[in-house]
């Protein structure tokens, strides 16, 4: 995908085009009028990654257009980035420029910021980090007021911690999330809050227990848990499961049981076709599942998970790929219909569109 042109004057029209395409693609499923959640037109990304381009003694942030992958596009300003990252970028570049220990063979810089004001910067190198790197890096971190990590092949130096703590208000609750370097987090924090709010609104009057697949660091788990009696949440990544457990404790959520399992494994466990040692402390018969929540990868739900979904009264589905969502909805047409829909513009000025559907049993 080419590097997008950022022009706030065109944002409303671009979003309208994406919504129109979404409605056209789902018209055959009697799609209700979707709620539309726009992004801020500027300064919306809480994550950013840049190559560092070396030209003699000078370094610059750079990106590459897939149409010309060998030609760097140096970045002076990156209006997509949140204001904290935008303000940090020139300060960091200037400081790196003046330090041979930090600049030498620096390959990439990754930023992770939060609404709560924390920031983590990762410096990635094409060389082993020697004894001169850490003192210079500690001085840099103290000067900029950030957390800092150094990476090279088979090497990771964490100066303080490799995570930041996000915090924001949602429906009268102050939610807190540990976000770990290198793990998935929602890039558009403002739109993420709107996604959480919409999901909570869909479940506010529901009863029974919730099964959540692909829970990640508990982004939706923490928000949705008060809407249900009990929640069984699954995630395959060990790092994300650790973060999710941290986040449940940090938010005082005590009705969630976490299991590190893939979607096809939990499908087999629920169908009683296979027993798993990881489920030894889970009494599946004690749950009264009425709702399934899924936020799958771009590939959508596989066939066993679609079959699992057919057994639920309600399916709350957040998707980052409308095409695979369309395929999954088609596969569920015999048992479920769309009761509510929403689109969330996580990535302005691109063709990407996050969307949400509430499917209910016919």
Residue 264 has pLDDT above 90, yes or no: no
- For residue 351, the model assigns a pLDDT of 93
**Segment 148-163, tens digit of pLDDT:** 999 999 999 999 999 9
**In a 10 Å sphere around its CB, with 0-12 CB exposed, 13-18 middle and 19+ buried, how is residue 181 labelled?**
buried
Other C-beta atoms closer than 10 Å to the C-beta of 129 total 17
Collect contacts of 130-133 with beta carbons under 8 A, ≥24 apart. 132/101, 133/101, 133/102, 133/157
State which fold the 47-164 domain adopts: OB fold (Dihydrolipoamide Acetyltransferase, E2P) (2.40.50)
171 is in an annotated binding site: no
Query: How many residues comprise the chain?
Result: 362
Residue 332 has pLDDT above 90, yes or no: yes
219 is in an annotated binding site: yes
Q: Which residues contact 229 (CB under 8 A, 6 or more apart)?
A: 207, 208, 209, 255, 288
- For residue 176, the model assigns a pLDDT of 97
Our answer to whether residue 227 is catalytic in this structure is no
Our answer to whether residue 215 is catalytic in this structure is no
Could you tell me where in the chain the CATH 3.40.50.150 domains are found? 8-41+185-361
- For residue 4, the model assigns a pLDDT of 78
Secondary structure letter of residue 35 according to DSSP: E
Could you tell me where in the chain the CATH 2.40.50.1070 domains are found? 47-164
Among 166, 181, 265, 354, the active-site one is 354
- List the CATH code of the domain at 8-41+185-361: 3.40.50.150
- For residue 2, the model assigns a pLDDT of 65
**Segment 100-137, tens digit of pLDDT:** 999 999 999 999 999 999 999 999 999 999 999 999 99
Q: Which residues contact 301 (CB under 8 A, 6 or more apart)?
A: 263, 294, 309, 324, 328
**Segment 42-65, tens digit of pLDDT:** 999 999 999 999 998 899 999 998
- For residue 233, the model assigns a pLDDT of 97
Confidence grade of residue 91 (pLDDT, cut at 50, 70, 90): very high
Q: Which residues contact 292 (CB under 8 A, 6 or more apart)?
A: 210, 211, 212, 213, 308, 309, 312, 314, 315, 316
CA distances from residue 215 to 5, 107, 185, 294 in whole angstroms, order as listed: 33, 32, 11, 8
Q: What would the mean pLDDT of 266-279 be, rounded to a whole number?
A: 84
Q: Tell if the pTM clears 0.85, that is, is over it.
A: yes
Closest CA to 181 of 212, 144, 151, 140: 151
- For residue 281, the model assigns a pLDDT of 87
287 is in an annotated binding site: no
Residue 306 has pLDDT above 90, yes or no: yes
Secondary structure letter of residue 77 according to DSSP: -
235 is in an annotated binding site: yes
């Amino acid at each position: 995908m080419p590097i997008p042109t950022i022009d706030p004057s065109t944002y409303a029209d671009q979003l309208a085009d994406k919504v129109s395409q979404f409605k056209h693609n789902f018209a055959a499923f009697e799609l209700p009028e979707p709620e539309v959640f726009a992004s801020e037109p500027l300064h919306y990304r809480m994550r950013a990654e840049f190559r560092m381009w070396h030209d003699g003694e000078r370094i610059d942030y750079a990106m590459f257009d897939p149409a010309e992958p060998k030609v760097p596009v140096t970045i002076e300003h990156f209006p997509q980035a949140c204001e904290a990252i935008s303000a940090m970028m020139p300060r960091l570049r200037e400081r790196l420029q003046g330090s041979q220990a930090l600049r030498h063979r620096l390959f990439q810089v990754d930023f992770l910021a939060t609404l709560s004001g924390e920031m983590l910067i990762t410096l990635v190198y094409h060389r082993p980090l020697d004894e001169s790197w850490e003192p210079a890096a500690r001085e840099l971190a103290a000067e900029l007021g950030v957390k800092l990590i150094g990476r090279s092949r088979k090497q990771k130096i964490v100066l303080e911690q490799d995570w930041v703590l996000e915090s924001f208000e949602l429906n009268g609750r102050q939610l807190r999330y540990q976000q770990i370097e290198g793990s998935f987090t929602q890039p558009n924090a403002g739109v993420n809050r709107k996604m959480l709010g919409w999901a909570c609104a869909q479940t506010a009057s529901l009863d029974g227990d919730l099964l959540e697949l692909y829970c990640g660091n508990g982004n939706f788990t923490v928000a949705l848990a008060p809407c249900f009696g009990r929640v069984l949440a699954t995630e395959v990544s060990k790092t994300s499961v650790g973060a999710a457990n941290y986040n449940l404790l940090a938010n005082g959520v005590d009705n969630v049981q976490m299991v590190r399992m893939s979607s096809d494994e939990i499908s087999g466990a629920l169908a009683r076709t296979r027993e798993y040692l990881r489920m030894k402390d889970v009494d599946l018969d004690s749950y009264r599942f009425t709702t399934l929540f899924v936020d799958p990868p771009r590939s959508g739900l596989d066939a066993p998970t679609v079959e699992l979904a057919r057994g639920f009264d309600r399916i709350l589905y957040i998707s980052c790929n409308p095409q695979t969502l369309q395929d999954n909805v088609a596969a569920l047409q015999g048992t479920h219909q769309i009761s509510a829909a929403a689109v969330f513009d996580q990535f302005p000025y691109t063709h990407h569109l996050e969307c949400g559907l509430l499917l209910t049993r016919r």
